[in-house]
Structure 1
Amino acid sequence: MVVQYKCPCCGADMKFDSITGKLLCESCSYTSDIDTMQRNQNGNTTSSESYSNSTGSTSYGSQINQYICNNCGAVLITEPDTTATTCNFCGAPVVLADRLSGESSPHYVIPFQINKEQAQEAFKKWCKKGRLTPAGFMTADRIKSMTGLYVPFWLYDLQTNGEMNAACTHVSTYEQGDYIVTETKHYNVHRSANLSYLKVPVDASAKMNDQLMDKLEPFDYRSLKHFNMPYLAGYVAEKYNYTDKDLFPRVQARVANYVETYLRSSITGYSSVSVLDRRIHIRPRNAFYALLPVWLVAYDYKDSEHVFAMNGQTGKIVGRPPLSKGKIFAWFGGITAVSFAIIKIIALLAGGGF
């Protein structure tokens, strides 16, 4: 089913506006509060605003699905994981409601808080800060595309129990008559802790680079809202490829590192610490399916495409820009020259030759 939100004043398509947090008609500036729009069991919305839908869709094997745009009648051919997109012919925002029902219905969403214009300006400023990037890249005038994408994540609530045993020493030195005495005391140290972790995010899309998505954190969960389809209008959205059970080993390994770091940080005040063994148990309590906002930036530079990601809530940008060999050599050369000068000054002050 294709859902498109229509303005009750002029009949134009409405999109989610990240500035106001409401549905916006760009034709007459009418806005609608999404939070007051009621959600029924299928995830559809009902309010004084109208939405048009088409129940017709055609499936071509397991790879693509065909939908019909309610505005222009064009055929929308999408990948199986797409849940929101725009019509390639008339540009109308569409939400594929039948892919957002049942087990595919998200629990939560963090709406975009940075619009496309703001994202472009933030990306250009970020490019100009690259001290070791080529001058041509720093101009930030080769943005090929910027896509607002709701990426599927699982948010895990976890209960953990950790134990750690360590061999520690405490070394002290003191004078005793004509002797300097060094005393070493040995300790067997045990630490244990029960820790709860709430809403640890793991991206559930096969298309997204896991390391890139991890670096986009943290997201501010104070903006987390119960899912409502109008938030997707005007953006691209995808559903998860992996279930919470599929991804549990990944979040388990990640949180195990958190617990180990916590236990190790609690062993302080010793001259040396040698961890003998550790036991960490992690139990899942809840897993929530959520859509989190990401701007994907495709940037052309010297006949190659570089992909960057921006947190659509906080503006944090991650990615690996190209490096200038000339700037790198100049930077290391400058450090070497400064170090050489400092050594020479110290030698002169000490009265030695050079």
Structure 2
Amino acid sequence: MISVKCENCKTQMNYDENNGMFTCPECLSQILVTDLSHPQLGNKINSVFDSDKACNNIAETNGTYHSENSNIPSNRYIVPCTLSKDIAISNYNRWALGGLFSPSKYNASHKKDKLILNFIPCIVYSLFGQGEIEATCTKRFEKVNSKKRDVITDYYLVGHKIEDSYEELLSYELCGYPISEIMGKIGAYTFDNAIPLNDTNIDNATDYNAFIANYRTDNRSQNQVTDATVIMPSNLHDITNDRDTLDKITQKVRTAVENNTLKSLNNLTANYDSTYTENTQLNTAITDIRYILVPVWSFENDNTPSNNSFFMNGQTGAIYGKCPVSIFKLSAATLLIGFILFGVLMAILILMGIIV
């Protein structure tokens, strides 16, 4: 609690931490906390609560602010599929428990020959965010001696700055289903081994395999996707910058920067009694835009994503979906296990002579 008396009527003033305003309940005069005259703001004091960035010592800003460039080129890349079709089938069999409990119709539509490799067109936005906040904080001390008890409020000017980089991946709709829902589950691609497409035209499995076969770089494994149908987007080189999308992403990053900055400030001032934010500066920029094709294994009949769909990240093996369970098969298995357990129990009882 900050203790300030009104200069006009000497009445204890009320303090609003939301706007940093003192208000006298008697004469209704007001004064901002930043307008108070207190010697602490005139001298730099070593604070025990925040060693380097408190007490009239705003943190120095390092680096430069980035400004958005509206003419950023759209670089084109393809992420090779590092998981072969055999591995994809093996992962599917583990996911579906070999089809033991899944419906027969589902198993028939999810055979090996129906597994295809999709290359999903995505845009990866690299974004930069910077935030800086200045605030006035207070700390209340008590001094007690044999004669009197004094309450002292110290004021501190606290500064904090952060810089963050973000990557946001957006995907187009492909083959009639909203692939963005799937990408949110199996995303987390890494682009270290992404291959520049340049003007190379890749439209089918043959072109893709030939392209990968000619790809030779140390510390990068080669990959041949054989016996697979490869689906490429028809608008491989049709890249446009959607300003509405860019604005939405920029606002998302700006909000993240603001939240992170405020969180850091709250941690910075946790040991103070009150905090009044005086100044907030936020800046965001899109530093790079890349058009990237990412590999996704799926079955050709899974045109609508659901919990029973199978979609697998062709780079990490992450899987989207949950294999359906046949109630009939599950009930039959439960009854069979019950009969087996009953038979074992009866055999034990007979051997023990309990049942003659």
- TM-score, normalisation: structure 1: 0.44
Which structure has more RCO (C-alpha within 8 Å, separation ≥ 6)? 2
The structure having more radius of gyration, on CA atoms, is 2
Instruction: Normalising by structure 2, report the TM-score.
Output: 0.44
